[in-house]
Chain A
């Protein structure tokens, strides 16, 4: 029955057509379409980032300020767990059964096949005992992580902290940072993020359909190793840093000490401070929110962010500008009858200094003398040119790094304030202000505001007789101790060196026999200036600036103790202890009887706002405490270490914040 013989061709035709369809389709997906190859690679290749160790930071004598510590996360793959001795397991990890069950459920909910963290940040000690038994717990394994640790718990605001990146940073970083990464958030950690973080490595692993790693892709051909972050050598001297923090405990304020010949910051104390270790580990979240809520703002970096009127500590600078301008000579005298009549109002002086020359004016902190100098200076081109003359005076002040940013190597530095003429135009009307209108500037008051760093930097300049180096905190980067070129640049402030000696004479007299005589250190010639910064919100701030020794100065220092009253009573002794420690590595009683221990123990924390505010009638600084210094020091120590007086003071830190908003 072969009558349908020709139908074989139809059947064969159908076979051929169908086969061609299959072949055509295969040709398309195998040869033409490239996406499947990419899909296949996405399926199996997983990029695992290998995180480098963050760079360690040392002090100037190679003592460790911050390093890395290894903690251990315990991970579990529920599918691989069998015959688990729960009791033993819990005992080793110090968990109770309930906690164990919770975590176990959580891990199972996450994934049966993929590892998830069972217990976070187990300490090395706990891990060691657990590790010996690890083989008894199939399905559990350990992953090492490194966290920051601070062996001396000091210099918190300088070091800053690291924190998980937020969405904004991720977006800005062009894909460098991913959720879960850490980044320096403040302090040196932020300023030197790019060198501290090191270089991440990549490991390409092959995974199977359950995402379980099965080996290296191409034998690791495309893998890169992680390169640890650079080691930083800080200019900080941990001895005086720790001493400073101890002296400032239970006080609000800061200490900045700088080596004048290099600009290296030796001490960077911001008080109240905190233990940087509190911002690491499991309690970090609670601790940081408590710090944010703390009214004394421990996170504020006071040396570069807090504003204080320099008060009398400004007088040497004022004198230098006048000398350079030729307004006065060291021999110029003014008569002090206990005050200065500035147009309609009277600027009082603490004493009747009588005939006062420059050195004596500084030694006695004579307001009359400096008001006269300032008046003469501003009026040198005639009263109707006040604005222009003031502007040039302002520029000269700015050259000292006052009223401009010093570009210290920390983020969020503030520039202080030397008001622009426009400001006075606004207040008094254009050309309606004269030298006497702004006479408070002569004595470091009025609108002048400086950060403690700026105050210390002015002392550096005086110590160097005319120049400074940008203050900085990192003096060497990496194994080759690279220093940034901008920190090697000598910055001249435009005052001839011959003018410094008379000023320095006065400053030496301040310590030898003047307002700060109680803080004199035997064997060290220290030149300084006290200041009592008027604080419209409460008790005056105690300010002291100094450098030592007089010849070949090794340290310049600024100390501010908020709401502590006169410069001589708090800031000057504290500065003297730091200077002594740095130069002689000892700590001793002053001949005047001042005992460092008492300063460490004293509590001067200003009362919190909301309390009754004492009406402020102290228009003028009164820091020229020449007589009965010892007595008054004793008195104030007694008062402050005893019961607190009635709350009456507005908090300076809050004031600062308010000012920032302006």
Chain B
């Protein structure tokens, strides 16, 4: 067959280049973030930047292995992979190591450890793609919709038990996949409205909020006065909104944990505690803001060097980019991500098989969500949710997980002319 001529025949090199660029940016910034004068070499294995080098090399090996595999395996093996990951997620609750309050890690020995929730991302994408690409499956059908939703929600439930709220929320991003496949835009709108109402209820008194909602509802009903369906929709929406507003208080204080609510309070400015809860974000903003246009230069960030920002090689790695490379650096990184996202969508849309396209959208959604939440958190735009910046943050599991996500897509794409 054609694609046997070379392992890398038809591989989308543009995406690979973006991937490698981000990996290298990450590696250098990790070096800077935890630079240790006694171990200055960037490949010194006793340091985390040395380890990251190993992770990148192994990720490239992993990518090669994926490209060598038969592309039809991915669809075929999707249920099995999903099953294994679910098993690991259960296992981690039993034998996992507790790091920073989350029982998310399975120790592999030698200082290395595995985070199953990272692998749940591509497993879920694969199974979702496999299910939705099945014959006679229409996501607009309630039954299919619920199955698809169940595929997404099941790992979320297991992960929230760890409890790793950040990783759990990542799966919500798959709503974009469902939307692309035909789910009513109401879902997106509803999701947006729910989030907006939730935030507004915390900031504004419910009386005012309901007053405003009444006005909006009245206006919409007048606007749709010939369309009975819409009137009903608006009415139901209004009632649900009111119910939501009154349940926010309960949700906020009974369902969310205290360490989550204080973060949200801090983010919304309800409380200000720059020495406690708000310390990270404040220092992170100082780091990024002090970078100005061109940054302070590689290894010269004072916030970075003198460890003012905790978690700076993992969740807050974007601070290092902002401080040492300035707005030029942050803009570049975000544009690379945007290019990568568009390229993935472009790749997804050129697939002949539904499986590949759906999977592609899954990859894009997950990367998008990570970037948005992670960067947004470092500049105070979203509350602190501990998820890594794709391919840049320190950590093997995360890097491998994104490598697998992307390279499965590239393999599927390389083989798009073939039959699955």
Chain A residues with a Cβ under 8 A of chain B: 1, 3-5, 7-8, 10-12, 14-16, 18-19, 21-23, 25-27, 29-31, 33, 35-37, 39-41, 43-44, 206-209, 214
Contacts and interface: CB of A to CB of B under 8 A. Distances in A.
Given A4-B180, A16-B338, A36-B286, 18 more contacts: A12-B342, A15-B341, A21-B376, A22-B372, A23-B331, A26-B331, A29-B285, A29-B289, A30-B288, A30-B292, A30-B322, A31-B327, A36-B285, A39-B290, A40-B289, A206-B306, A208-B305, A208-B308
Nearest to B376: A22
A16 B305 CA distance: 33
Contacts of B308: 43-44, 208-209
A21 B381 contact: yes
A33 B289 contact: yes
B379 interface: yes
B322 A26 contact: yes
Given A4-B181, A15-B368, A44-B302, A25 B381 contact: yes
B403 interface: no
Interface string B271-295: 0000000000001011111111100
Report whether over half of chain B's contact residues are helix, strand or loop; otherwise say mixed.
helix
25 contacts: A4-B180, A4-B181, A10-B179, A11-B176, A11-B179, A12-B342, A15-B338, A18-B372, A22-B334, A26-B288, A26-B330, A26-B334, A27-B327, A29-B285, A30-B322, A37-B290, A39-B290, A40-B287, A40-B289, A40-B290, A43-B306, A43-B308, A44-B308, A207-B306, A214-B305
A21 B372 CA distance: 9
B337 A19 contact: yes
Nearest to B176: A11
B303 interface: yes
A1 B381 contact: no
A40 B286 contact: yes
Contacts of B379: 22, 25-26, 29
A205 to B, nearest CB: 11
- Return the 4 tightest CB-CB contacts between A and B, nearest first: A36-B289, A40-B290, A208-B306, A29-B289
Nearest to A21: B381
Nearest to A11: B176
Contacts of B364: 11, 15
Interface in B171-214: 176, 179-182, 185
Interface of B: 176, 179-182, 185, 283, 285-293, 302-303, 305-308, 322-323, 326-327, 330-331, 334, 337-338, 341-342, 345, 349, 354, 361, 364, 368, 372, 375-376, 379, 381
B337 A30 contact: no
B269 to A, nearest CB: 15
Contacts of B290: 36-37, 39-41
A14 to B, nearest CB: 8
Contacts of B345: 8, 11-12
B328 to A, nearest CB: 9
Given A7-B179, A22-B379, A29 B288 contact: yes
A646 to B, nearest CB: 70
Contacts of B375: 22
Contacts of B330: 23, 26, 30
Contacts of B349: 5, 8
Contacts of B323: 40
Nearest to B328: A30
Contacts of A15: 338, 341-342, 364, 368
A206 B302 contact: yes
A23 B381 CA distance: 11
Nearest to B326: A30
Contacts of B306: 43-44, 206-209, 214
Contacts of A18: 368, 372
A209 B286 CA distance: 13
B289 A23 contact: no
A1 B341 CA distance: 22
A36 B293 CA distance: 13
A662 to B, nearest CB: 57
A44 B337 CA distance: 32
A40 B303 contact: yes
Nearest to A39: B286
B293 A30 contact: yes
Contact of B361 (A11, A16, A39, A41): A11
Nearest to B307: A209
B286 A43 contact: yes
Given A12-B342, A26-B327, A30-B322, A37 B289 contact: yes
B227 to A, nearest CB: 23
B338 A19 contact: yes
A14 B365 CA distance: 11
A1 to B, nearest CB: 6
B344 to A, nearest CB: 10
Contacts of B322: 26, 30
Contacts of B182: 1, 3-4
A25 B345 CA distance: 25
B381 A22 contact: yes
B205 to A, nearest CB: 27
Contacts of B376: 21-22
Contacts of A16: 338
B172 to A, nearest CB: 14
A182 to B, nearest CB: 32
Interface centre among A10, A21, A40 (most CB of B within 10 A): A40
Nearest to A35: B289
A44 B304 CA distance: 11
Contacts of B361: 11
A36 B288 contact: yes
Contacts of B334: 19, 22-23, 26
Contacts of A12: 342, 345
A39 B326 CA distance: 16
Contact of A43 (B176, B291, B303, B326): B303
A135 B61 CA distance: 51
B178 to A, nearest CB: 10
A16 to B, nearest CB: 7
Contacts of A40: 286-287, 289-290, 302-303, 323
Contacts of B289: 29-30, 33, 35-37, 39-40
A22 B322 CA distance: 12
A233 B376 CA distance: 68
A21 B306 CA distance: 30
Contacts of A41: 290, 302
A187 to B, nearest CB: 46
Contacts of B180: 4, 7-8, 11
Contacts of A29: 285, 288-289, 379
Nearest to A210: B307
B392 to A, nearest CB: 14
A222 to B, nearest CB: 15
A601 B337 CA distance: 96
A561 B277 CA distance: 73
A212 to B, nearest CB: 9
B258 to A, nearest CB: 25
A39 B349 CA distance: 47
Interface centre among B290, B327, B342, B379 (most CB of A within 10 A): B290
A363 B347 CA distance: 125
Contacts of B292: 30-31, 37
A341 to B, nearest CB: 88
Contacts of B303: 40, 43-44
Contacts of A206: 302, 306
Contacts of A22: 334, 372, 375-376, 379, 381
Nearest to B295: A30
Nearest to B379: A25
B302 A43 contact: yes
Contacts of B286: 36, 39-40, 43
A114 to B, nearest CB: 15
Nearest to B292: A30
Nearest to B342: A12
Nearest to A43: B308
